[in-house]
Amino acid sequence: MNNPMLNREHNEQQTLLIVEDDAGLQSQLRWHFEGYNVIVANNRDEALTALRREQPTVILQDLGLPPDDEGVEEGFATLQASLAIDPSLKIIVVTGHADHENALRAVSMGAYDFYQKPLDTNTLDLIVQRAFQMAGLEEQLRQIQEEQTSPLDGVIASHSGMLKICRTIEKLAPTQVTTLLLGESGTGKEVFAKAIHKLSAQKKHPFVAINCAAVPEQLMESELFGYEKGAFTGANKQTLGKIETAENGSLFLDEIGDMPLPLQAKLLRFLQERVIERVGGRKEIPVNVRVICATNKDLLSMVKNHTFREDLYYRISEMVIDIPPLRNREGDKILLARYMLDKYRREQNKNISGFTPAATSAIEAYDWPGNIRELENKIKRAVIMSESRNIDNEDLGLSDELALSINLRSARQKAEINAINTALSIADGNISAGAKLLGITRPTLYDLLKKYDMKTMLTTSESMP
């Protein structure tokens, strides 16, 4: 049986907060756990002060603290307040003999574990050590996820295809290339447009966005190019359009596939000449602006059907980036879900620590036709409405069938495919480098590529044996 006294060097950086009002028990626990950085508190106020100041990883708390002057159950109030400050805390509650009901209540409120008096210090050692180990594993997982996420501000991704897009954007952002972002609604096209702007020479100047599908056709010209005083009824003053507003910055034309044909010719002239004329004006005005476009439509089909100008298409598509839908981004669903859960948990000040296994399975199994926007809406609603420590698939509005649709074999296959994709993406398709990253041999990697029909991941210099 390990004793913390024998692991002083290993535990000296680990902070244990003991919340106990019995002076004798305080002394006993402080001595027994002297291998840790032990902080002792007598009541709720002292515990919360110590929590904010010392930031302990594990708390050993007596659930039977006497009620305060207003009759509030001090033990449960302390537990609730502590988790509100840091939901990742591992709180071990100590209850009276046979007080099983309160122990279960504490666990349902978010306690990590419980132990009943009288204290057996050897058993308590194991519980505390396990709590620190679990906290350490969770921290390692968070670091791994952070390392796997994209380098672009606002883009949360670990899928190899998405990481490749991120590297492409890093390369093209410093240039003046006109970029066309393709993808279904809700895939994050505007997020990528902003990433291009932030990495460009225009980053200190405005990023101006206009949704071509949201502006009425009769107003689109004046919205883009501005108008002179008296140009039409109600034009009481000279007004700059979106293009001029974006001077020296970036202009984002979202849903450009919905731009009316008559206006496409005027936009083409601007892109070619970099000059505009305001509505009601005759003066040519030079404008220096970087243009980024996006659409969820098939522009090539529209060109064939003569609903989108061919010359405009080739002008805006100097670089085309096709953003995959969320259903095709292995590993990104739960990564995004956890990011959004943390965001809205903090915003709503809710004591929610994660997802149940059923919710995780359902998130991975669902196709998300509304993509990231749908995922965000469901998680935000679940955080607001949930009354438990973990969000279930029912909180997300996802069926039990989805929660049960994932099995160990498919999960293992998806994990292997995702790992191979990531490794080969990092290694630019080089088999030797990819195998080294994965910790396997070249023949094993070749076998896996054949198994999952992933030959397209190879560079031109590699060939299947």
Kindly indicate the confidence band of residue 3, based on its pLDDT and cuts at 50, 70 and 90. Answer: very low
- Identify the pLDDT of residue 286: 95
CB 37 within 8 A of CB 14: yes
At residue 322, what is the residue type?
A: D
**Is residue 363 scored above 50 in pLDDT?**
yes
Residues 10 and 133 in one domain: yes
Kindly indicate the confidence band of residue 462, based on its pLDDT and cuts at 50, 70 and 90. Answer: low
Indicate which CATH number applies to the domain containing 437: 1.10.10
- Decide if 154 is inside a domain: no
Residues 62 and 123 in one domain: yes
- Decide if 58 is inside a domain: yes
Max CA separation in the chain (angstroms): 91
Which of 361, 383, 404 delimits the end of a domain? 404
**What's the rounded Cα separation, in Å, for the pair 325 and 184?**
6
Decide the pairing of beta strands 319-322 and 113-116. unpaired
Kindly indicate the confidence band of residue 459, based on its pLDDT and cuts at 50, 70 and 90. Answer: very low
CB 205 within 8 A of CB 247: yes
**Rounded mean pLDDT, 419-427:** 80
**What's the rounded Cα separation, in Å, for the pair 217 and 16?**
65
Burial of 302 (C-beta count, 10 Å sphere; 0-12/13-18/19+): middle
- With H, G, I as helix, E, B as strand and everything else as coil, classify residue 412: helix
| pLDDT tens digits, one per residue of 278-299 | 999 989 999 999 999 999 999 9
Q: Which of 78-82, 97-101, 106-110 has the lowest mean pLDDT?
A: 97-101
Residues 132 and 38 in one domain: yes
Residues 258 and 374 in one domain: no
- Identify the pLDDT of residue 2: 43
Name 403's Cβ contacts closer than 8 Å, sequence gap at least 6.
Answer: 358, 359, 361, 362, 365, 393
Residues 227 and 315 in one domain: yes
Residues 433 and 446 in one domain: yes
Kindly indicate the confidence band of residue 178, based on its pLDDT and cuts at 50, 70 and 90. Answer: very high
- Identify the pLDDT of residue 360: 84
Residues 415 and 394 in one domain: no
- With H, G, I as helix, E, B as strand and everything else as coil, classify residue 70: coil
Residues 19 and 126 in one domain: yes
**Rounded mean pLDDT, 210-238:** 91
- Name which of 127, 330, 293, 131 is nearest 211 in CA terms: 293
Q: Which position has the higher pLDDT, 141 or 10?
A: 141
| DSSP letter for each residue of 55-68 | --SEEEEETTPPP-
Which of 120, 146, 172 delimits the end of a domain? 146
b (16+ CB within 10 A) / e for 175-193 = eeeebbbbbbebbbbbbbb
**Is residue 145 scored above 80 in pLDDT?**
no
**Rounded mean pLDDT, 194-211:** 94
- Decide if 381 is inside a domain: yes
Which of 100, 122, 146 delimits the end of a domain? 146
Residues 165 and 271 in one domain: yes
**Rounded mean pLDDT, 309-335:** 92
**Rounded mean pLDDT, 135-160:** 70
Q: N- to C-terminal Cα distance for the chain?
A: 53
Residues 172 and 309 in one domain: yes
**What's the rounded Cα separation, in Å, for the pair 194 and 457?**
29
Domain containing 25: what range?
Answer: 4-146
| pLDDT tens digits, one per residue of 334-345 | 889 988 998 898
User: Average pLDDT of the chain?
Assistant: 85
Indicate which CATH number applies to the domain containing 380: 1.10.8.60
Determine phi and psi for 96, rounding to 5 degrees.
Answer: -70, 165
Provide the domain count of the chain.
Answer: 4
Residues 207 and 281 in one domain: yes
Indicate which CATH number applies to the domain containing 139: 3.40.50.2300
**Rounded mean pLDDT, 319-337:** 91
- Decide if 155 is inside a domain: no
Kindly indicate the confidence band of residue 402, based on its pLDDT and cuts at 50, 70 and 90. Answer: low
